Chain A
Amino acid sequence: EPEVTQTPSHQVTQMGQEVILRCVPISNHLYFYWYRQILGQKVEFLVSFYNNEISEKSEIFDDQFSVERPDGSNFTLKIRSTKLEDSAMYFCASSLEQAGDTEAFFGQGTRLTVV
């Protein structure tokens, strides 16, 4: 069964460093998303991406964050200068159509620890 894959599963980084989280969405999906879950808190929407541009973003998604689809298969989230409060589980998701019409499928997550 097709699935969303994320790498790495766990990343430890020093405060101020740049990190890139990688995702391979399901191959025929057109909409891509990043969510995050701080330990013990709700899953929060960060950004959605369609047709090579951001379609929506939350207040969390400030200038320190960026997303890119560098080729036909990968979808990345870059955090330019990490802060302690960026420590969280980051989930990539994809859907065939916009989330209102079809299921969103999530990856297993990347646990980011900023020290």
Chain B
Amino acid sequence: KQEVTQIPAALSVPEGENLVLNCSFTDSAIYNLQWFRQDPGKGLTSLLLIQSSQREQTSGRLNASLDKSSGRSTLYIAASQPGDSATYLCAVSLMEYGNKLVFGAGTILRVKS
């Protein structure tokens, strides 16, 4: 059974710092990995999608990498801002069940001004 783990569970950093969020998954047979942002009591906003054949994706200050063989992904946030404060979730799409996303528990990020 696919398990997705995110480390750290919570992170508090001063504004301007670069930071890395980690995601690991137990079964490397994935179609893709998606990073989401969730604000308190709100929905999920898709940030980046990395296909299993790709190594990384970039969008603005965000860069996500994928190492499928080792079951790891990182989300790098450059020059963090207070508006980046949110919970960041990673989710993998399984090869066996292409329509199902399996989520991690998330990293709660607080960027202090």
Where the two chains meet, the residues of A that have a C-beta atom closer than 8 Å to any C-beta of B are 6, 31, 33, 35, 41-45, 48, 50, 55-56, 58, 89, 91, 93, 98-109, 111
Contact = CB atoms under 8 A, between A and B. Distances in A.
A106 B104 contact: no
B42 interface: yes
Interface string B33-54: 0101000011111100100000
B88 to A, nearest CB: 13
B103 A99 contact: no
A87 to B, nearest CB: 14
A109 B43 contact: yes
B99 A99 contact: yes
Chain A interface, >50% SS class: strand
A35 to B, nearest CB: 8
B99 A48 contact: yes
B42 A108 contact: yes
Interface residues of B, number: 26
B31 A45 contact: no
Contacts of B94: 100
Interface string B61-102: 000000000000000000000000000010101110111111
A100 B95 contact: yes
B100 A48 contact: yes
Interface string B5-49: 000000000000000000000000001101010000111111001
A106 B83 CA distance: 20
A45 B100 contact: yes
Nearest to B106: A42
A43 B89 contact: yes
